Amino acid sequence: MKRIGILTSGGDAPGMNACIRAAVRAALANNLTVVGIRRGYTGLIATDTVPLDRAAIRNIIHQGGTILETSRSPDLYTREGRLRVAEAIGKMGLDGVILIGGDGTFHGASLVAADADTAPLVGVPGSIDNDVYGTDYCIGFDTAANCAVEAIDRIRDTARSHERLFFLEVMGRTAGFLALESGIAGGAEELIIPEEETSIAPMSERIRKGFDIGKKSAIVVVAEAKTPGISFQIAGEVKKHLDLDSRVVILGHLQRGGPPTLRDRVLGSSLGVAAVEALLEGRSECMVGEVGGALAYTPLEETWKKKKPLNENLRRIFSILSD
């Protein structure tokens, strides 16, 4: 193995640059040439590349986003597009490719490997949604969760001052990891996540009882699910049961930006090194992750075919603390 490529695909996540930096340094330490592929699979098909050396990765560990840029490529949904990906890998003379992204990134990679004889592919989980099977935490999740907790803390101040009910909507797509952990850390009164069916009337009654016993505020953390902005609809339904002044705050893409936390920098760095070492060991069509504090290798196909479950103990803890 002499020459590898690195790309970021799908949604950006804080800590991706730390991962790129670590992978490049690990590759250079093993006398490998590293090619940065810009704009994910779209740039791969177009052979849009940039050389990655020590100068290229200098002073990026603290930066959010991704220096390689990213995109979501429709080409992966056709066999012709996947063959073009494999052809581009061969044309660039790559002996392996590291793919930093989420389940969509790995879905595409496993389909490419199934359709064509291509260089080894190793994935690194980068997603603020934290919904990738095969790892306890994805790069970017901790930063996004801390952003949500800071927002809850700030909103609590103004909510208490006006005795208001706030609905705080966080990202997460069809998974409630971000809502659950930020809800616990922020002391939220209620939680609405895709994994649980929420009945508006009983929830409204619980909120009312809280104010009756002297609470000055209440915060409901809402996972956006498949409908970003759904908090406005939920607030409207609650209003039918509860005569309280309420507001809606949608964090949106604010959660994706900003410097990565210590946890995301360390996770990105460790998984970046692990990805290079996996290629050197001859591994392919797998994702490197962390499970129980130990390095884990998961077949790419499993990362998107298997659903990652929420931590049941954390769900139990939230129900106790919010009572």
- Give the closest residue to 183 by CA, choosing from 148, 217, 158, 235: 148
* Structure-block tokens of residue 170: 């966080």
- Give the closest residue to 113 by CA, choosing from 136, 133, 97, 125: 97
Residuewise pLDDT in 10s, the chain (323 residues): 999 999 999 999 999 999 999 999 999 999 999 999 999 999 999 999 999 999 999 999 999 999 999 999 888 889 999 999 999 999 999 999 999 999 999 999 999 999 999 999 999 999 999 999 999 999 999 999 999 999 999 999 999 999 999 999 999 988 999 999 999 999 999 999 999 999 999 999 999 999 999 999 999 999 998 888 999 999 999 999 998 999 999 999 999 999 999 999 999 999 999 999 999 999 999 999 999 999 999 999 999 999 999 999 999 999 999 87
* Structure-block tokens of residue 176: 């409630």
Rg of the chain (C-alpha set): 21
- Which of 103, 129, 142, 264 does the annotation list as catalytic? 129
Burial class for 29, CB neighbours closer than 10 Å (0-12, 13-18, 19+): exposed
* Structure-block tokens of residue 144: 């996004």
Sign of CA dihedral 182, 184, 190, 195: positive
What is the CB-side half-sphere exposure of residue 273 using CA atoms within 13 A? 11
- Give catalytic status of residue 129 as yes or no: yes
- Domains in the chain and their CATH numbers? 3-140+260-305 (3.40.50.450), 142-257 (3.40.50.460)
